[in-house]
Amino acid sequence: MIEFKRLGEVSKSDICELLNHPLVRRHMPLALGPCDDEAYKAFIIAKEELWQKHGYGPWAFYHEGKFIGWGGLQYEEGDADLALVLHPKYWGMAKAIYDLIIEQAFGEMGLESITALLPPSRTSLKVMQRLGFKPDGELIVNGHKFLRFRLTHRSL
């Protein structure tokens, strides 16, 4: 069973272990330096601000009592943007977590569409097509280019 909790409930060591993992960092151009006390605090503050400003934000994911990653929907340039960052040991759980997020987005939240931003380092984009996402331009976030994809409620 997958449990959703607030990111502020996750220990600094668990968050930093994930964010410092080289396979995770490879596709996170916004992670400029190592996760340390200062980076952890800034990360938690930024994610909690999303909840306060927009009424939704990313979650911490737990499986069998263990923190396995974070993600969900977060406000980005007027859209609810899908984020999913899992520890490599749990990459096989991505689809199950994705399904829960999609259920929340198009069910509970009643959204018409969501976006997903991928850095250009993600060269294999077949999974986006399989999930029904369509290319939707590019977006610059903090000076870094991302490829934007959009999934509409109608395309499910």
The pLDDT of residue 17 is 97
Q: For residue 80, list its beta bridge partners.
A: 75
Q: Is 91 exposed, middle or buried (0-12, 13-18, 19+ CB in 10 A)?
A: middle
Confidence of residue 121 (pLDDT cuts 50, 70, 90): confident
Residue 155 has pLDDT above 90, yes or no: no
Q: What is the largest CA-CA distance in the chain?
A: 43
Residue 123 has pLDDT above 80, yes or no: no
**Domain 2-112, second-level architecture:** 3-Layer(aba) Sandwich (3.40)
Nearest 10 degrees: Cα torsion 147, 148, 154, 156: 50
Closest CA to 133 of 110, 102, 100: 102
Amino acid at 156: L
The pLDDT of residue 82 is 98
Collect all residues with Cβ–Cβ distance below 8 Å to 135 and sequence separation of at least 6: 147, 148, 149
Rounded to two decimals, the pTM is: 0.93
